[in-house]
Amino acid sequence: MKDEIIKFETAKLAKEKGFNWKVENYFYDEFHKQTIYKDKLTDYSKHEKGNLYECVSAPTQSLLQRWLREKHNLHIVIIPTVTSYFTYKILDIQLNPENPIERPPYKDVASEDFTTYELSLEGGLQEALKII
């Protein structure tokens, strides 16, 4: 089993929101064509955008989920639906993670069902990044 790397759009949003953990993978975007590379552990958020290119950290879904949980107290829960699809909830967890709370402005359930767990998690990651 392989941990999924987030999509480029999610990676750009994570960079905008301050994701700065060291990762091995990064997107190299040149002329709006993204290539993914693997290198030594580096904080790619420090790479400045050039006129023709940009480097963006490409963490795994689980690492970005962990960052959201540890840094912003947001937890994404993936929920299987009765139609064999998946959806998500975003919870704001307090200092005691065993006592989660929901804040009303946060998206309760995805507006659509996703065909896979990973697609649902990607949707939840994007939505969580938008609310921080």
pLDDT values of the chain reduced to their tens digit, one per residue, 132 residues: 689 999 999 999 999 999 999 999 999 888 778 888 888 888 887 776 766 678 899 999 999 999 999 999 999 999 898 888 998 888 887 655 555 554 444 444 445 688 999 999 999 999 999 988
Residues 27, 12 within the same domain? yes
Domain membership of residue 74 as a residue range: 64-131
* Count of CB atoms situated within 10 Å of the CB of 128: 26
CA gap 64, 14 in Å, rounded: 8
Shared domain for 52 and 77, answered yes or no, is no
Coarse DSSP helix, strand, coil percentages of the chain, rounded to the nearest 5 percent: 30, 35, 40
pLDDT of residue 30: 83
- Whole-number Å distance between alpha carbons of 113 and 71: 27
127 shares a domain with 68: yes
Q: How far is CA 57 from CA 15, 44, 54, 87, 116, in A?
A: 7, 5, 10, 26, 24
| Domain count across the chain | 2
Q: Are residues 75 and 124 in the same domain?
A: yes
